[in-house]
Amino acid sequence: MADKMPFGEGASINRPRLFCGVNYQFWKVRMKIFMHSTDKGIWETIENGPFIRQVKRDEVLIDKPSSEWTEVESKKAKFDWISKNIITSALSYDEFFRVSQCSSAKEMWDIPEVTHEGTNDVKRARKHALIQEYELFIMQKGETIYDVHKRFSHIVNHLMSLGKTFDKEELNIKILKCLDRSWQPKVIAISESKDLTFMTVAALFGKLGNMSLK
């Protein structure tokens, strides 16, 4: 039953959300936050691969024997096992078997990413499509400001997950420009406040939402 659901148990501060094959982007963001909150060394292991300390013996570099590791080196090496434990604990039965033979946490992380996000070429194509969707974004007939917020955030968050960056002012100006003519007096009032450079998207939509109630 659980495998038919987007997510299963989890979603607590002590346990990562279970991924069952859909809504990968949501799971990926939650997992990054969970790993960072546990220890930044865990996420560094995911990004860079397992810790390997090499030493020179007889002018040849070899892997340093674990019996000679310092306490700090032992902790860094252990991060790979901790990371693998976190990832496998957050995968459903079917997703687990995609990564069960991986030798490192980085491999375990990369396989679902390629499976559910595609190769770099696929990501690039998706990014271009989303950029076009962002550029053409306008408020649709009958939409509430809440609907606009939800749709806009979905596009921007996906673009950011694919490496696109935005500054606050750019996003805020885009939002104000996308609203229909009935919003023009409110747009002018907000624009004249001159705080678009520092205002978050959430704060702007909150302000627009409050204005729509007046």
Domain boundary assignment for the chain = 2-117, 120-212
CA pair distance 75, 42, nearest whole angstrom? 10
Q: How confident is the model at residue 197 (pLDDT cuts 50, 70, 90)?
A: confident
3-class SS of residue 85: helix
76, 3 Cβ separation under 8 angstroms: no
Tokens of 59: 């002018």
- Residue 88 CA to residue 94 CA, distance in Å, equals 11
pLDDT tens for 198-207 read 888 999 999 8
According to the model, what pLDDT value does residue 84 have?
94
Decide which of 135 and 59 is more confident: 135
Q: What is the pLDDT of residue 193?
A: 72
Q: What confidence score (pLDDT) does residue 117 get? A: 81
Residues in the chain: 214
Residue 92 has pLDDT above 90, yes or no: yes
Residue 194: pLDDT band with limits 50, 70, 90 = low
Q: Label the pairing between strands 60-63 and 54-57.
A: antiparallel
Report the range of poorest mean pLDDT among 5-19, 23-37, 39-53, 123-137.
5-19
pTM (whole model) above 0.75: no
Comparing C-alpha atoms, which of 161, 155, 157 is closest to residue 131? 155
SS (H, E, C) 28-70: HHHHHHHHHHHCHHHHHHHHHCCCCCEEEECCEEEECCHHHCC
| CA gap 48, 98 in Å, rounded | 21
